[in-house]
Amino acid sequence: MKDVTKIVLTGGPCAGKTTALSRIEQFFTAMGYRVIFLAETATELITGGIDPRKMQNLDFQIALMTLQLSREKVYEQAAHKLPEDKVLIVCDRGALDNKAYMTEEEFIELLSALDANEVDLRDNYDAVFHMVTAADGAEKFYTTENNQARTETPEQAIAMDRALVSSWTGHPHLRIIDNSTDFTEKLNRVIREISHCLGEPVYYEIERKFLIEYPDIKKLESIPDCRNVDIIQTYLVSSDPESEIRIRQRGYDGNYIYTKTEKRKVSDGTASAAKRVEVENRLSRSEYLTLMMDADTNLRQIRKTRYCLVHDTQYLEIDIYPFWKNQAILEIELTDENAPISIPDFIKVIREVTEEEVYKNYSIAKDIPKE
C-alpha cells in the first residue's frame, strides 16, 4: 500500500527554511522517497502579479487559501499515482500560516467564505516543523540582504515567528526547531525530526509525564498561544499483550479528525523516559465508526480536554480529565531522552510519573485512579 506523508515546513523570517528544503530533498531521496515540494503559495501569487498591497487583506487571504488548498489536493492525488511506494509531500508553509497575517475577525470571515473549519485546515497535515527565526537566539546571523521581500526588523521577525507558532499550536505533531545549536546542527535536527515522523528507521516516542496540580483554566485560556481540543479515546482488542491499539476522535466545536495508533513497548526505558514504537494512521469518519465495533469492552472510553501550548520552544500538553478535580497530567514528547525540560511557573508539578503505570491512559481506561 502506497505511503504518502504530507508535512509542513514553516518558520519565521531568516530561519533557514530554503536551505532546509534543499537538505530535505537530498536526504530523503537517498532514503528511497519520492520527495514532492509544494512551493509557497503567497510567493506564486505575488510573483504572478497579484499585489496584496493593492487589495483588501481578507480578499487576498481568501484567494491565497483557495489556491493553497486546491494545489494541495492536486499534489495529493498525483502522489498516489506515482510508482514509488514512499512519497513525501513537503509544503513550504501550510494553510494555517495564513492565520498569522490576519486579525481574528478576518480569519473567522475567511472560514465562513470557504465553508471551512480550523481543525480540518490545521490537522490536515501529518506533522508541522517550525524553524525559529535567527532573530531569536542567533541574532548576529539575522539579515534581510538575501531576500528582497524581507523587510522585518529583528523585533518584527520575532513577533511574526511567534504568531506563526501560535497559528499551529494545537496540532498533534508540532515540532519547533530553535537556535540552541549552530546552523548545521539546526538543519540536522530538522532531518531527524522528519525522520522520526516517517518512522525512519523507527519512530520512537519518548514521553515525559508529570502529575500536576489542577491548573488555573482561566489562566490557560488567557494565554494567546494556548489551544484546547476535546479528545475521545477508545482502545481496541489486541492479540499482542505488548501492543496497545487505540482510535481517537480529536477536535472541537463539532469539527474532528480521526486516527488509529498502535504503540509497542521496545524497552523499559530509564528512570526518566519510556520508549515505544508508535505507528499512527489517519482515518475517515466511517472507518473510525467501523473500528468502534472492535472496542475492548473491558476498558473504559477516555474523554479529556487537552490544552496545548509552547514554552521555551517545547510543546506542552495538559490533559484535564472529568473525574479529577485537584490534579491533571502534563506530557512532553521528546526525541532525545536527555533533553532538558522547561515548565512554566504557573504549573505546579507534584511529581514525575513517566514510569508509573497507574497514570498511563491504558491503565486509566482499566481503572480510574483516585486523586
Look at residues 167, 13, 171 and name the one whose alpha carbon lies nearest to residue 100: 167
Residues 26 and 136 in one domain: yes
Contacts 24+ apart (CB under 8 A), 150-159: 150/13, 150/14, 152/13, 157/12, 157/13, 157/14, 157/133, 158/12, 158/133
Which neighbouring-strand residues pair with 319?
A: 306, 329
Q: What pLDDT score does 271 carry? A: 46
Residues 123 and 239 in one domain: no
Look at residues 347, 371, 338, 180 and name the one whose alpha carbon lies nearest to residue 272: 338
Within a domain: 371: no
Domain containing residue 248: CATH number: 2.40.320.10
Residues 169 and 236 in one domain: no
Q: What pLDDT score does 333 carry? A: 79
Residues 275 and 354 in one domain: yes
C-alpha cell at 34: 519520492
Within a domain: 159: yes
Task: Give the Cα separation of 234 and 297 in Å (integer).
Answer: 10
Give pLDDT tens digits for 140-171: 888 766 555 557 788 999 999 999 999 999 99
Residues 209 and 186 in one domain: no
Residues 221 and 350 in one domain: yes
Domain stop point among 141, 172, 198 = 198
Which of 28-32, 294-298, 327-331 is most confident?
Answer: 327-331
Residues 22 and 167 in one domain: yes
Domain containing residue 90: CATH number: 3.40.50.300
- Residues whose CB falls within 8 Å of the CB of residue 223, separated by 6 or more in sequence, listed in order: 309
Task: Give the Cα separation of 368 and 371 in Å (integer).
Answer: 9
Within a domain: 274: yes
Task: Give the Cα separation of 310 and 225 in Å (integer).
Answer: 7
Distances (CA, A) of 178 to 123, 232, 279: 22, 32, 26
Within a domain: 283: yes
Residues 240 and 324 in one domain: yes
Domain stop point among 170, 198, 226 = 198
Within a domain: 290: yes
pLDDT (mean) for 58-64: 96
Which neighbouring-strand residues pair with 260?
A: 247, 281
Look at residues 320, 317, 346 and name the one whose alpha carbon lies nearest to residue 333: 317
Single pTM value for the model: 0.76
Within a domain: 171: yes
Q: What pLDDT score does 367 carry? A: 78
Give pLDDT tens digits for 14-25: 899 989 998 899
Residues 192 and 282 in one domain: no
Residues 186 and 291 in one domain: no
More confident call, 224 vs 41 = 41
Within a domain: 76: yes
Q: What pLDDT score does 264 carry? A: 73
Contact 342, 314 (CB under 8 A): yes
Residues 178 and 218 in one domain: no
More confident call, 240 vs 305 = 305
Q: What pLDDT score does 305 carry? A: 95
Instruction: Establish how many alpha carbons lie within 13 A of residue 147's alpha carbon, considering only the half-sphere containing its beta carbon.
Output: 14
Residues 219 and 184 in one domain: no
Which neighbouring-strand residues pair with 4?
A: 87
Does the pLDDT value for residue 266 go beyond 80?
Answer: no
DSSP tag of 141: G
Q: Could you give the number of structural domains in the chain?
A: 2
- Give the chain's count of helices (H) and strands (E): 10, 14
Q: What H or E segment, with its residue span, contains residue 363?
A: helix 361-366
- Chain Cα centroid distance, residue 269: 24
Q: Please give the full DSSP string across 1-69, using - where no structure is assigned.
A: --EEEEEEEEESTTSSHHHHHHHHHHHHHHTT-EEEEE--HHHHHHHTT--GGGS-HHHHHHHHHHHHH
Domain stop point among 198, 219, 244 = 198
Which structural domain range is residue 65 located in?
3-198
3-class SS of residue 188: helix
Within a domain: 208: yes
